[in-house]
């Protein structure tokens, strides 16, 4: 198997403001193979 162009493992992202903390991504893992395109779309409140 070919190695991926990009490999993300166990990604967690928190946004912290003066009022609160919000987890936007929780333990996400993915690979992007050579020649492929990835788009990550989210919802805002």
Q: Are the C-beta atoms of residues 14 and 25 closer than 8 Å to each other?
A: no
Mean pLDDT of 1-15: 92
5 φψ region: left (φ > 0), alpha (ψ -120 to 50), beta (else):
alpha
Q: Does the pLDDT at position 1 exceed 70? A: no
Mean pLDDT of 24-35: 94
Q: Does the pLDDT at position 14 exceed 70? A: yes
24 φψ region: left (φ > 0), alpha (ψ -120 to 50), beta (else):
alpha
pLDDT of amino acid 43: 77
For residue 45, the number of C-alpha atoms closer than 13 Å in the C-beta half-sphere is 4
% residues pLDDT > 90 (the chain): 76
Q: What average pLDDT does the structure give for the chain? A: 91
């Amino acid at each position: 198997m070919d190695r991926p162009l990009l490999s993300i493992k166990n990604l967690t992202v928190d946004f912290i403001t003066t009022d609160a903390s919000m987890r936007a991504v929780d333990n996400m893992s993915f690979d992007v193979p050579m020649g492929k395109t990835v788009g990550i779309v989210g919802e805002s409140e």
